[in-house]
Structure 1
Amino acid sequence: MAKAWARKLYNSKEWKACRASYIESVHGLCERCGEAGYIVHHTIYLTPQNINDPEISLNHELLEYLCLTCHNGEHMGNHEPITAQGTQFDAEGNLILVGRGFERK
């Protein structure tokens, strides 16, 4: 969910056009792993100070299309896991057991 100060950009026709053209330019694939992409990531993190600068917020050179896993790794990559070993969240947000060849809810 976008932060309150970023909502104006993400709801703008300029961002929507930029986002669509960028996704098309990378053929809809995650630029890190090649899976289906999910989110256009700004390689220079947006702040209240730079969000209105189109050279940063709307610049294809500063964007990267990522799948959810790669995007989460970008933002949480240097942190401890948020679940206990052998568990993870499924696509619906339910905690499930994983490993040893089984997965159950």
Structure 2
Amino acid sequence: MTLEHTALAKKFYKSKAWKKTRDAYFKSQHGLCERCGEAGLIVHHKVWIDIDNINNPDVTLDWNNLEVVCVKCHNQEHFKKNDGVPEGCMFDEDGNLIYLGE
């Protein structure tokens, strides 16, 4: 992830279009994780957003590319594809990697 991508991602995740899409999709799934059925927290992009597709609403705002997941399932998704989340870290509800501290 580059600094350019990080800036674009922050801008996207703060946009009215994303917030409206995210909230409507979350509500349509009754706030439940689509993988385990527990309380969901994150609207996850199945096709991950990157510098090449962040401006493509067919990827970023299409309900077919979204799923509600709990934090555990979201972290498992990123663990599986990223060779691991660094120890002591997790993804927050906005998809940001955060340090948990001790």
TM range (shorter): 0.7 to 0.9
What SS does the corresponding residue of 1:77 show, helix, strand or coil? Answer: helix
For normalisation by structure 1, the TM-score amounts to 0.72
CA 1:81 to 1:60, structure 2 compared with 1: closer, same or farther past 3 Å? closer
Task: Give the alignment's Cα RMSD to 1 decimal.
Answer: 2.4
Residue of structure 2 in register with 1:28 after alignment: 31
Identity %: 45
Residue of structure 2 in register with 1:76 after alignment: 79
- CA shift digits 1:8-61 (9 cap, x unpaired): 111110000000000001000000001111111100111111111111100000
CA distance in 2, matches of 1:62, 1:80: 23
For normalisation by structure 2, the TM-score amounts to 0.74
Q: Which runs of 5+ in 1 are unaligned?
A: 96-105
Q: Which runs of 5+ in 2 are unaligned?
A: 90-99
Asked which structure has the greater CA Rg, the reply is: 1
Q: Which has the higher contact order (CA 8 A, sep 6+)?
A: 2
Higher helix share: 2
Q: How many residues get paired? A: 88
Higher strand share: 1
